Amino acid sequence: MLDFIREHDGLEATQRVYMSVGDKEGIYKETRQRHMVEHTKEAHQLWLDKGMGAAGLKLAVEPEGTHDDLFMMKHFPESLKWLFGNSEGHLQFRRMSGEMHVPGTQVWDLQSHLSGREYQIYIVEPMGPPPEGGYPVLYTLDANATFGSLAEAARLQTRGPHGMVPFVIVGIGYNSNDPIVTSERFYDYTVFADDSELPKRPDGSAWPLTGGAEVFLDFIEYELKPLIEKEFPIDRAKQSLFGHSLGGFFTLYTLFKRPSTFRRYFAASPSIWWKNLTLLQLWENNKVQISLHETEIELHLSVGSQEKPNMVRDAHNLYQLMTEDVYGPKLVSMIEVPNEGHVSLLPSLFSPMLRRVTS
């Protein structure tokens, strides 16, 4: 083909060509395929030398791209946009304010039929074919705050040939630009608490509406999960839930009330203090059921050493209570991360958590 391009004139003025290649194509080949990238670039340069301009010829080199359908499918819609989106073939620029798209992700607007409440569902698409049994999946709360970091961690750490097995991340968030959507999460992540059962807020304001944990759990189990399983082949034996702060309360609540909903539970800086330590009583009431119901469950607790003393103390107390008891999950782990606070704790947890999710 290169000889043909050298010996013949360039393309007609009315013709347009979109070329794409992954910069890792052919790296494991011993045949001429090992030269795929350099040959593609050479063909592109030959056409440029014969007078093809940027309006009629484009080469897209995909970083970390390999010779497989995933990267080819990614470029197919891009080629259509370039070839047919602008008949003059001129480059177009669009200034976007406050928006960034993470490659390999999608966002759904979803309204619960059970409660009428509205959510934005953020999804990290798997970077390869499913393992035998389906993809592991991580459901994460407070997606407005955590999804971007998790998505980039997944995109980097599932790259071949030595990356993690492909998996799906499902972030549950809200239609808001705020990282912490206070009123919505207070309702979804909590059991009802009277003001007399809660401490005074530092600014003296009233507590938001609370008590939606059960219906929110119904939404996840009976509405969201079936939709995800229609979109991707999911390994139901490898489903995990991650929550931080009040999301950590909800994670523990889910484990104590409906243990078989997930296999692995990750509770970071959990708000065990909520409603006069009601989680401790919930554990006591349900520990036998948890032990008998599902023996493969794991719980992973974490807290930052620089958090409020009661947050650190409560997490350690719960860990001690659960590990000293004869009942409970198969595995309970606890980590106190040095020099991290309530929020700065989060990035340190993501990579170890993703490795566990996919194991």
112, 342, 348, 351: the catalytic one is 342
How remote is the C-alpha of 173 from its chain's centroid? Answer: 11
The reply to whether 223 belongs to the active site is no
With left for phi above 0 and alpha for psi between -120 and 50, is residue 340 left, alpha or beta? Answer: beta
d(CA 143, CA 57): 40
| CA dist 322 → 175, 268, 309 (Å) | 37, 16, 20
Name the CA dihedral angle for 77, 82, 84, 90, rounded to a multiple of 10 degrees.
160
The reply to whether 214 belongs to the active site is no
The reply to whether 245 belongs to the active site is yes
Four-residue CA torsion sign, 58, 60, 66, 71: negative
Neighbouring residues of 46: CB distance < 8 A, sequence distance ≥ 6: 2, 5, 6
How remote is the C-alpha of 283 from its chain's centroid? Answer: 29
25, 44, 75, 245: the catalytic one is 245
25, 125, 184, 307: the catalytic one is 307
- Please give the positions annotated as active site: 245, 307, 342
